[in-house]
Amino acid sequence: MTSPSSPSDREKVVSKLPPWLRQELKIRTAQLRVDIQDAVHQGIAQWSALASAPSPVDTSGAESFSTWLPAGQWESFRAGAKDRGVSLIQGLAQAVQLWLEMNPAPTVQRPSVVRRIVVCNQKGGVGKTAITAGTAEALAEDPQSLHPVRIARQLARLTEDNATTGAPPGTTPGTATGGAATGGATTGTHEPSVFTVEDLPGLGMRVLLVDFDPQGHLTKQLGQQPMPIGGDSLTCHMAGEAKGPLSDLIVPIADERFGDRLHLLPSCTDAFLLDVRLSTVRAREAALERALAPVESDYDVILVDCPPSLGLSMDAAIYYGRRRDTEQPGASGALIVVQAEDSSADAYDLLTSQINDLRDDLSLDIDYLGLVVNLYDGRRGYIATSSLQAWMDIKDPRVVAVVPDLKEQREAVRLKQPLFVYAPKGDQAVALRALAREIS
C-alpha cells in the first residue's frame, strides 16, 4: 500500500514488521544517526541487488509499519518479491535484516586518558550529589537501548526538518527559547531554539563515582554503606597509609541499564580528618591523583563528588581535574553546581578564587566544564528568574544545563535508588542525559 502525496518525491509505504526487528531498526538508526526511511531504502536496494533471497526471517506477530521511500521503489520491490516467491512482509523483513547486518552497531569510543570531572561548589545543599550521580548514570546507560534525551535545536532547523520528513517519532517540542529555561543543555547561540525529546542510545561509558564528601550522601543515596572507621579507605590511600588495593574498596551499582559499567568508591567518615592528615603529606595537592591512579585504566570517566570545602582536600580535587599534557581542552575539569538564588553566587566566587589561585600558584590548566543550575522552579518568582538570567549572562563558564526541582529525585533518595532506575523517563533524567552529552 502506498500514498502518492509525500514530501521530497517520496511515497508513503505501509506494510508490516515483527516488533523485535522494528525495535532493532529503531535502535541501530539512532546509534548511526540515520533516518529510518533511508535505512529501509538502502536495505531494499541491497536486497534487490542480491542474486537470490537471503535466509527467511521469523515474521510471526508482525505489526503495522510505515515509512517513506523514493517514488517507484516499492512497486519494483513488490515485483522482486513476487519473482523470488516470498511475501511482501517476508521480503521487507529480509531487507531490514540485511541492512542491520551491513551496518553494525558502532563501538563506544574510549578516551585515551580517563576523563576526570570534579563536581563542586563551596555551598552545601545545592544538589551536587544528585548532579554527580545523575550525570554518571547517564554516561553509563546501555548503548543498545534507547532513552529519552532533551535536545536543544534551532527553531529554523526544526521547522525545516518537520517540513521535509515530519516530526521524528517520539519527539515533542519544548516551550523554551534561547537555551536552558526548561532543563536541557544550552545551544551556544542567540538564535531562537526549542527543546525536543528524542530517543537516543545510551553512552555506554565505564564510570567511577568517587564519594569525596565525609557526609557520605552519595554513598547512602545509591543504597551503599560507608566504609567503617579503622579499615581501609580513600583517606588512607591519600595519606600514604593504604591497607590494600584501592580496587578492593570499589562496589558496583547493580542494574541492567548500567551493565557492569557504573561503580562507586564509597565514603568513609575518616574523611573529616583528611585535611589534617594531608598537612603532613608531601605534594599533598597530588594526593587524590596518586590514590586513584591504580584504577584509572578501568574507566572512561571518573566523577568526584566534592564536599563544600575550601581546604586542602578541595585543592587535591581541583588538581586532579586539571588538564593533563595529552588531553584536549574541556575533556576534564570542574563542573560547578549552583541554584537560582543569591547565596550560590557568593559560594561561586569563593570557588573560582580558589581555582584561580591554584592555576597561578602551580601553573595549571584547569578547565571549567560549565555551570549547572539545579533545582530550578520558575514559579518561585523574580528571585529565581532573575538569578537564572544572571547565571546565563556569565559566558565563561557558561550554563550547560538547568535541572528542574521535581519530587522524583527526593523520592529516589528516600528509596535509596539511582534516579535513572526510579524515574528513567522523568524530566530530571531527561535533562541529565542532555547534560552528560553536553560535557562528554
pLDDT value of position 272: 82
Q: What is the C-alpha separation between 143 and 257, in angstroms, rounded? A: 9
Helix axes 312-320, 342-362, angle to 10 degrees: 70
Mean pLDDT computed over 65-88: 94
Q: What percentage of the chain carries pLDDT values higher than 70?
A: 89
Q: What is the C-alpha separation between 191 and 153, in angstroms, rounded? A: 10
Measured at the alpha carbon of residue 159, what is the angle toward residues 155 and 165, in degrees to the nearest 5?
140
Q: What is the C-alpha separation between 150 and 143, in angstroms, rounded? A: 17
Measured at the alpha carbon of residue 146, what is the angle toward residues 305 and 182, in degrees to the nearest 5?
60
Residue 22 pLDDT > 90, yes or no? yes
pLDDT tens digits, residue range 337-348?
A: 999 887 888 888
The amino acid that residue 169 corresponds to is: P
pLDDT tens digits, residue range 387-436?
A: 999 999 998 899 999 999 999 999 999 999 999 999 999 999 999 999 99
For 223, which DSSP code? T
Rounded to two decimals, the pTM is 0.83
The label of the residue with cell 519494483 reads 76
